[in-house]
A and B are shown apart, each in its own frame.
Chain A
Amino acid sequence: AQSVSQHNHHVILSEAASLELGCNYSYGGTVNLFWYVQYPGQHLQLLLKYFSGDPLVKGIKGFEAEFIKSKFSFNLRKPSVQWSDTAEYFCAVKEGSQGNLIFGKGTKLSVKP
């Protein structure tokens, strides 16, 4: 069965530090890839997504992610985090075009002002 691994459970950074959150998946075929974010007290929101084309995807709020097919990875990056980026980040993978969305366990990001 498809699985999604997020390597870090909790990441603590100071403002202006660079961020990289890891995400690996197990499915070997065509995938659609997503990063969702959940700010404190709010619902899950889409940060960015990859369907096809340029493997470097830009999302909202300065986030980007790179799809590396050979590594089954879709890591999330931001060059300089802000206190307002404090949230929980979920990687999700969809098998092919009709599969269900499989989520990782999430990574909690705490940014110190």
Chain B
Amino acid sequence: EAGVVQSPRYKIIEKKQPVAFWCNPISGHNTLYWYLQNLGQGPELLIRYENEEAVDDSQLPKDRFSAERLKGVDSTLKIQPAELGDSAVYLCASSLGGLGETQYFGPGTRLLVL
């Protein structure tokens, strides 16, 4: 079974530029998560989707971050414009959904903003 796929794996951009990350969850997984992981920290949830609906985006900085999950499968996370402090690893995870489900993580996209 293929795992969660993310691209790109690495991205270097200059501040104020836009950037987008893509995630393809495990087939059949209805719930998709985007996490931010800063150096030396654990992952922090940015947004959670149930199918195509964003059910929790309370931690997403909506002035510069946006996300979509059209058709309830793939998802894209965008930052526009990027700031120096956005340098981090952006993780995507998916789960089947339901009580106590396990989240499966992708390899992440490491972003460096110069």
Binding site for B on A (CB under 8 A): 4, 32, 34, 36, 42-46, 49, 51, 90, 92, 94, 97-98, 100-101, 103-106
B16 → A minimal CB distance (Å) = 30
Partner among A42, A94, A100, A104 whose Cβ is within 8 Å of the Cβ of B42: A104
Residues of B near A90 (CB, < 8 A) are 42-43
Interface centre among A49, A90, A94, A101 (most CB of B within 10 A): A101
Report whether A44 and B43 are in contact in the complex, using a CB–CB cutoff of 8 Å. yes
Report whether A101 and B103 are in contact in the complex, using a CB–CB cutoff of 8 Å. yes
Which B90-105 residues sit within 8 Å CB-CB of chain A?
91, 93, 99-100, 102-105
Residues of B near A101 (CB, < 8 A) are 33, 43, 45, 103
Binding site for A on B (CB under 8 A): 3-4, 33, 40-45, 48, 56, 91, 93, 99-100, 102-108
Report whether B102 and A103 are in contact in the complex, using a CB–CB cutoff of 8 Å. no
Residues of B near A106 (CB, < 8 A) are 40-42
Interface centre among B45, B48, B102, B108 (most CB of A within 10 A): B102
User: Could you tell me the dominant secondary structure of chain B's interface residues?
Assistant: loop
Report whether B40 and A105 are in contact in the complex, using a CB–CB cutoff of 8 Å. yes
Interface centre among A34, A44, A94, A100 (most CB of B within 10 A): A44
Report whether B42 and A105 are in contact in the complex, using a CB–CB cutoff of 8 Å. yes
With A100-B48, A100-B56 known as contacts, the answer to whether A46 contacts B41 (CB < 8 A) is no
Report whether A49 and B40 are in contact in the complex, using a CB–CB cutoff of 8 Å. no
CA distance A94 to B31 in the complex (A): 15
With A51-B100, A97-B100 known as contacts, the answer to whether A44 contacts B41 (CB < 8 A) is no
Report whether B105 and A43 are in contact in the complex, using a CB–CB cutoff of 8 Å. yes
CA distance A106 to B107 in the complex (A): 17
Interface centre among B56, B105, B108 (most CB of A within 10 A): B105
Given A90-B42, A105-B41: 15 more A-B contacts, CB < 8 Å: A36-B105, A42-B107, A43-B91, A43-B105, A43-B107, A44-B43, A44-B105, A49-B102, A51-B100, A97-B99, A97-B100, A101-B33, A101-B45, A103-B44, A105-B42
Name the CB-closest residue of B to A42. Answer: B107
